[in-house]
Structure 1
Amino acid sequence: MAHPSLSLFRGSLSTLRSAGEDALNPETVVKLPAPLQTYFDADKAAGTAAPTSAFAPHAVVRDEGRTHVGPDAIAAWWRAAKAQYGHTAEPCEIRQERGLTIVRASVTGRFPGSPALLTFAFRLEDGKIAALEIGA
């Protein structure tokens, strides 16, 4: 049976992409909710542990076609992605849409097409990240 938080993802990014493709200004200061600020601060800090404190205990992350559920799986995903890509993400736009907090970020790292503009779709619950989907 699918995890309840996965219902967030059904058609989310493909629908959301078409809704806000305005040009992004990297000079814009983006004010993020606290758990998202924790996530992106940890992303920028070299050698930082996964920001599992920003995630709810039942949180779900979808990235690169894989699903990671719970703090141990999310920490393993974080470490593996950092080791493989050595990436950092700089938020450049934030908006609320259909109960999600959508952050567009410029992601730079060791991957073809770097830097790339990616979409981070967060669902927050009780001040924590309950779900995150990362895509183009």
Structure 2
Amino acid sequence: MKLPKVIGDLVQAQNNLDSSTYAECFSETGVMIDEGKSYEGRAGIRKLIEEANKKYRSVMKPLAYTENDGTCVLSAQVSGTFPGSPIVLKFHFEIVDGKIKHLHVTG
């Protein structure tokens, strides 16, 4: 499956448990919404991912990808050390100038 470079980079960073590279996929003012909470800016996103990586050691396996009206949606199987693993999540991206401006993770 062909993914935009920044999404491929994000998946690779997650699978390497690399929170710094993951955060660099976002714009300076990027926003990530996960489990109903909002994280702003690269520092906030890096902290979230760093803590989640230590706790859950999650990896992503892309299953499907669509683009529609400026929104990109990646469905991925996510597995790790969390209850219910693996699960399929949807990652709703808004990408501007090759960086993620907004990411909303849903079940």
TM-score calculated relative to the size of structure 1: 0.74
Aligned counterparts of 2:78 and 2:23: Cα–Cα separation in 1: 20
Match of 1:49 in 2: 19
Query: Unmatched 5+ residue regions in structure 2?
Result: none
Aligned length: 106
Say whether residues 1:84 and 2:55 are aligned partners: yes
Q: Secondary structure at the match of 1:82?
A: helix
Say whether residues 1:40 and 2:11 are aligned partners: yes
Say whether residues 1:100 and 2:71 are aligned partners: yes
How far does residue 64 in structure 1 lie from its aligned partner after superposition?
Answer: 0.9
> What percent identity do the matched residue pairs reach?
29
Match of 2:99 in 1: 128
Match of 1:115 in 2: 86
**Structure with greater Cα Rg:** 1
Query: Unmatched 5+ residue regions in structure 1?
Result: 1-29
Aligned counterparts of 1:133 and 1:110: Cα–Cα separation in 2: 22
How far does residue 81 in structure 1 lie from its aligned partner after superposition?
Answer: 1.1
Say whether residues 1:69 and 2:40 are aligned partners: yes
Q: Secondary structure at the match of 2:12?
A: helix
Say whether residues 1:31 and 2:8 are aligned partners: no
Structure with the bigger percentage of strand = 2
Residue type of the alignment partner of 1:66: K
TM-score calculated relative to the size of structure 2: 0.93
Q: Secondary structure at the match of 1:113?
A: coil
Kindly provide the CA deviation profile for residues 38-96 of structure 1, in whole angstroms up to 9, marking residues without a partner as x.
Answer: 100011114x2332221111100000111000011010011011112111011110001
Runs of 4+ in 1 over 3 A off after TM superposition: none
How far does residue 117 in structure 1 lie from its aligned partner after superposition?
Answer: 0.6
Q: What is the root-mean-square deviation in Å for CA atoms of aligned residues? A: 1.1
